[in-house]
Structure 1
Amino acid sequence: MVRSIKRMEESATRNPPAPAGGRPVGQVLGIPVHANASMLLLAILVTVVYGNYARAELGLEQPWAYLVGLGFVICLLGSVLLHELGHALTARHHGIGVRRITLELLSGWTEMDREAPTPRVDALVSLAGPAVSLVLGGVTTAAAFALPEDTVPGQIAFQLAVSNVLVAIFNVLPGLPLDGGRALRAAMWAMLKDRNRATVLAGYAGRALAFGTAVTVLVLFQFGLLTVFGMLFVLLVTMTLWHGAGQSIRLGRMTGRFPLIDLGALARPLLSVPSGTPLGEAQRRRAEDPRPDVVLGVTDSAGSLTALVDPVAAERVPVDRRPWVSVESVSRSRDALTSLPVGLTGEQVVRALQAHPGAQYLVTAGEDVVGVLRVADVAAVLEPRRAQRT
């Protein structure tokens, strides 16, 4: 038991494993690279569209035109990878571990094992990606001028130049979740001395940016300066930006409430009944217990806790059957439950819950179980408004 608590303490001090983000395709400079499944559909679409463009503008025949389209897709992916490597290598240079890079056709993201320790590092990591894209845009622009315009290399160089310059400009716009929004957050973090508040403000800047972009696009469409396809594409991007900004605001508010998480205060009291006790009798004892929010546990003949009653499973048992159903049949084994040492900080508790998803957790002090934590109680602390609505 002491060993399991020690492992729990160690795992809770680290960020949890990131959720699956595509399939692994290799490594670059020791950094795992994954590819998102949605990338395949976009890759096929761009290959066909650019292949048709190559047929019309350069006079190429099938299958060469589509091979050129595929080559352009590969070049785009290379540009995205280099952009993300800018973030990853800068983070690693400043002592921040990088879990992996996940690629999509027109975007990607870098997963790090912790947040930047200072506003300066946060800004440097954020702006490294757009800086790489800007350099790539400059190199490919020079290549486009040097190469004949009506050739395949010249056309690919021109398209890559436009793509990388647009990516660099778009990403430095000051609003989360864009790289420029992270840089804005870093600046406000330095001024306000509060990272969470800076995240919320930068998230609202992202929403203002999304709203302004949407209005501008609709005006341009009304004046005939933008096609229907172009309008819909940009509106889709702004919707994604709006959603990402909202997630940033929510995250900033939640992380600001981490210090309010106190395992000792949140742990619900435990009422243990012997193995073999009928469910109806166990529920009667709980109803008579003066303590609020009591959780039922099951003990063996030696008095050791072996399981916790699952309240959902217990409620599914018809009332007239509860005197004949033992508590073990609606319980979860203790071995299937995660233990949380009572001394964990709020952030460590959240990281542990993310790493070990569940509905109930044992709160321990040494080798003793002192209570039960329900994930809904933590959610109510982090998002009290949402908890009141539900």
Structure 2
Amino acid sequence: MAAPRRGLRSIDGVDDSRRQPRTRRGGRPVGQVLGIPIFVNGSMILLAVLVTYVYGNYVRAELDLRDPFGYVVGFGFVLCLLGSVLLHELGHALTARRFGIGVRGITLELLGGWTEMDRDAPTPRVDALVSLAGPAVSLVLGGVATAATLALPDRTAAGQIAFQLAASNILVAIFNVLPGLPLDGGRALRAGLWWLIKDRDRATEAAGWAGRVLAFGTGMVAFWLYRLGTLTLLGMLFVLLVVFTLWQGAGQSIRLARMTRRFPLVKLRELARPLLTVPAGTPLGEAQRRRSQDPRPNVVLAVSDSAGNLTALVDPIAAERVPVDRRPWVAVDSVSRSRDAVPALPLDLSGEQVVRALQAHPAAQYVVTSGEDVVGVLRVGDVAQVLEPRRPTKQRK
């Protein structure tokens, strides 16, 4: 029930936080459970209304209830279902904490939920245990609900809810252990491949392709059942939504794995653009003329004070917005950003450290420093081009 992203989301799973920004949850906080923040996405409200209406009508017909009571039972089922999803995600979260992995929060959304963690599992064994903890909880809940169904009288509201909870939890447990990302079983598959080939990123990519095969197969089976009349149109549309989510999550896993393998290629010494400083008060047109005559590629304009110290960086977007005929009369300072407002990156950071720093402090550009000296400027688009060379990018100045 969950995720990648995103953020990486998975149909039910664990966020690969090392590759994700820290602000991806997009839900409203509703409280904490065992110290873990809980968030609810707006799509969960849509699901609650839909399930209340559909299940309320079903129960009303089955138990011969009046309109309001059928929907009350439907809403009760929704609450029990949300509780099941939360317990599933707590299985992931508490197992992760057991192995020293921090948990940032749990988000409940349209197709279930996902657990956001502050780092990857350190070993294949831990990765597998964290991934399978959620389905294990769902299986236990399914067993308890099955026992309750057998113990409760037939044709009662409690019996109907128990039966639906048994079916839904067992279905969630079985579906989520299927071997393909972004499902929990896909993460378990990744853990096994990681242990076998000793390369987490290649294992992730392989499990992502398995997820795409699984999504395609699920769609074909759903279409076949619909043609046979076994699956209703509403059921078909719901399965297609699940298939779409699976396909997206698998694709994101593949993309992120490929990006992560390219982290070592992010080298600040090579990516940092050289600086051309001009004195404060220089007309923008004159500064741009000097840059055009500089033989170095990708030069970034900067502003210095009377002592020659770097004080600001020219914002290329703001500079381009100035009409050409006005540039000789506009000081370069007016389209610049203070040096202190631009994040700094030490020159000796590794590729992975650079990517993490960019995720933690999003910006369009960064000053690259060596000790107290600024040695260049890093544009985030240049890093993106290294990580995803196949993706077309706009021409940058």
Give the TM-score range, shorter chain.
over 0.9
2:12 corresponds to: none
Counterpart mapping for 1:162-311 below 5 A: 162-311=167-316
- Equivalent pairs counted in the alignment come to 378
Is the 8 Å Cα contact of residues 379 and 387 (structure 1) preserved in structure 2?
Answer: no
For 1:287 and 1:313, the matched residues in 2 are separated by 18
Range 74-83 or range 327-336, more displaced = 327-336
1:9 corresponds to: none
For 2:366 and 2:193, the matched residues in 1 are separated by 37
Deviations 1:168-216 (A, max 9, x none): 0110010000000000001111111111111111000000011111111
For 1:364 and 1:234, the matched residues in 2 are separated by 52
* 1:151 Cα deviation from its structure 2 partner: 0.6
Range 62-71 or range 92-101, more displaced = 62-71
2:321 corresponds to: 316
Secondary structure of residue in 1 paired with 2:391: helix
* 1:106 Cα deviation from its structure 2 partner: 4.2
Establish whether residue 153 from structure 1 lines up as the match of residue 158 from structure 2.
yes
Q: Given the alignment, which residue of 373, 377, 380 partners 2:382?
A: 377
Is the 8 Å Cα contact of residues 87 and 128 (structure 1) preserved in structure 2?
Answer: yes
1:350 corresponds to: 355
1:68 corresponds to: 73
For 2:292 and 2:190, the matched residues in 1 are separated by 50
Is the 8 Å Cα contact of residues 77 and 104 (structure 1) preserved in structure 2?
Answer: no
Residue ranges of structure 2 left out of the alignment (5+ in a row): 1-17
1:6 corresponds to: none
2:108 corresponds to: 103
Q: Normalising by structure 2, what TM-score?
A: 0.92
For 1:302 and 1:151, the matched residues in 2 are separated by 84
Secondary structure of residue in 1 paired with 2:296: coil
Is the 8 Å Cα contact of residues 279 and 306 (structure 2) preserved in structure 1?
Answer: yes
Q: Normalising by structure 1, what TM-score?
A: 0.94
Inter-CA distance 266–105: structure 2 relative to 1 (3 Å threshold): closer
Inter-CA distance 20–227: structure 2 relative to 1 (3 Å threshold): closer
1:131 corresponds to: 136
Secondary structure of residue in 1 paired with 2:345: strand
* 1:301 Cα deviation from its structure 2 partner: 2.0
Establish whether residue 21 from structure 1 lines up as the match of residue 26 from structure 2.
yes
For 1:209 and 1:271, the matched residues in 2 are separated by 53
Is the 8 Å Cα contact of residues 307 and 331 (structure 1) preserved in structure 2?
Answer: yes
Is the 8 Å Cα contact of residues 19 and 260 (structure 2) preserved in structure 1?
Answer: no
Letter in 2 for 1:95: G
Residue ranges of structure 1 left out of the alignment (5+ in a row): 1-12
For 1:315 and 1:155, the matched residues in 2 are separated by 65
For 1:230 and 1:172, the matched residues in 2 are separated by 21
> Which consecutive segments of 4 or more residues in structure 1 shift more than 3 A?
13-16, 387-390
1:33 corresponds to: 38
For 2:92 and 2:181, the matched residues in 1 are separated by 16
Letter in 2 for 1:223: L
For 1:209 and 1:49, the matched residues in 2 are separated by 28
Q: Given the alignment, which residue of 45, 48, 53 partners 2:53?
A: 48
Inter-CA distance 20–243: structure 2 relative to 1 (3 Å threshold): closer
* 1:364 Cα deviation from its structure 2 partner: 0.6
Q: Given the alignment, which residue of 316, 328, 336 partners 2:333?
A: 328
* 1:18 Cα deviation from its structure 2 partner: 3.1
* 1:52 Cα deviation from its structure 2 partner: 1.7
Tell me the percent identity. Answer: 75
Secondary structure of residue in 1 paired with 2:249: helix
2:4 corresponds to: none
Is the 8 Å Cα contact of residues 34 and 103 (structure 1) preserved in structure 2?
Answer: yes
1:57 corresponds to: 62
Inter-CA distance 106–379: structure 2 relative to 1 (3 Å threshold): closer
